[in-house]
Amino acid sequence: MNKADIKKALELAKKNSPKRKFKQTFDLIVSLQGLDLKKTEHQVNTFLPLHFSNSKKVSIGALVGPELYEQAKEVCDEAVLVDDFGKYSDKKLIKQLSTKHDFFIAQATIMPKIATTFGRVFGPKGKMPNPKAGCVVPPNASLKPLYERLQKTIRLRTLNQPVIQCAIGKEDSKEEELIDNVLTIYNSLTHTLPNGEHNIRDIMIKLTMGPSVIVGAKKDKKAPKEEKKAEEPVKEEATEETKEIEKTEEVSETKSVSDNPKKE
């Protein structure tokens, strides 16, 4: 994995994608191999702060006590005070809240109440405040630095398939920032996967509406398809020739029969 290969893949992805009226997103797709996802140690589920934003606005909700409430209202996109948890007895309201935000910050001292109120919905959706992402904080925490860091944080996760997909930026993002994000993700995975880079089969880059481009792909990978196309006319000629032979044989056979009629 080197910068030149990433740069070339970005250029091809942009070239091959049809122009749209909106700014498309660059996605990174990592295809994995040699893993048994039934084993916990083979699963990937980590939070990674990038050096540069992937240009996606990250919405952050806060579930806090009175110590952090005023600060959370000012810094986060939404703040829910512990005294108002009772309003979320309806499961539909919890679902609506979970879909509104990418991350939830939680005050550590009220985590049991958060688990009781929101866990049944947040848990399966992967929205519970996660200590790995730094989202469980003490009552005297400063939320602004955490909010800014989460704006550049992505989640690398395998679900039912050995594939990881995440956004690395927009089509108008600076090339050097896109390359840096790709390398940061790649280096993180080589340290996370049980066999490092040997568990990575392919790395692909694509725009939202465009085809995938393999990073570091060689031209000779397309050779088999070209050979197959080259053979097709030969196959057709052989088929016509066979038909002509069969036709000639059929005429000869008919003639032979007519020249030698059966005696009654």
CA 37 distance to own-chain centroid: 17
56's CB contacts (< 8 A; 6+ apart) are 25, 167
Element (H, E) at 49: strand 45-49
Phi, psi at residue 217, to the nearest 5°?
Answer: -70, 140
* SS3 label, residue 60: strand
Whether residue 87 is found in the same domain as residue 130: yes
Range of the domain at 235: 220-257
Whether residue 13 is found in the same domain as residue 3: yes
pLDDT tier for residue 19 given thresholds of 50, 70 and 90: confident
Among 6, 4, 21, residue whose Cα is nearest residue 208? 21
Query: Would you state the structure tokens that stand for residue 57, as one six-digit string?
Result: 């606005």
Among 63, 101, 102, 55, residue whose Cα is nearest residue 82? 63
d(CA 42, CA 137) in angstroms, rounded, equals 29
d(CA 192, CA 1) in angstroms, rounded, equals 17
Residue 22 lies in a domain: yes
The domain tally of the chain equals: 3
Residue 123 lies in a domain: yes
- Kindly give the pairing relationship between strand 103-107 and strand 60-64: parallel
More confident residue, 130 or 243: 130
Contact at 8 Å (CB) between 60 and 152?
no
The rounded mean pLDDT for the chain is 85
Query: Would you state the structure tokens that stand for residue 13, as one six-digit string?
Result: 């992805």
Residue 37 lies in a domain: yes
Q: List, in sequence order, every beta strand (DSSP E) within 158-248.
A: 163-170, 200-207, 213-214
Whole-angstrom distance between the N-terminal and C-terminal Cα of the chain?
85
Pick the last residue of a domain from 115, 149, 183.
149
Whether residue 50 is found in the same domain as residue 66: no
| pTM > 0.85: yes or no | no
d(CA 184, CA 116) in angstroms, rounded, equals 36
Q: List, in sequence order, every beta strand (DSSP E) within 96-245.
A: 103-107, 136-137, 153-157, 163-170, 200-207, 213-214
115's CB contacts (< 8 A; 6+ apart) are 128
Mean pLDDT of 158-174: 93
Residue 262 lies in a domain: no
**Looking at residue 23, which CATH number applies to its domain?**
3.30.190.20
Predicted confidence at residue 244, as pLDDT, reads: 46
Residue 101 lies in a domain: yes
Residue 263 lies in a domain: no
Predicted confidence at residue 218, as pLDDT, reads: 61
pLDDT tens, position by position, 196-241: 999 999 999 999 999 999 998 764 343 333 333 333 443 433 444 4
Among 194, 252, 256, 248, residue whose Cα is nearest residue 35? 194
Residue with tokens 């800014």: 148
Half-sphere exposure of 239 (CA within 13 A, CB side): 6
Choose from 20-24, 66-70, 243-247 the range with maximum mean pLDDT. Answer: 66-70
Q: Which amino acid is at 167?
A: A
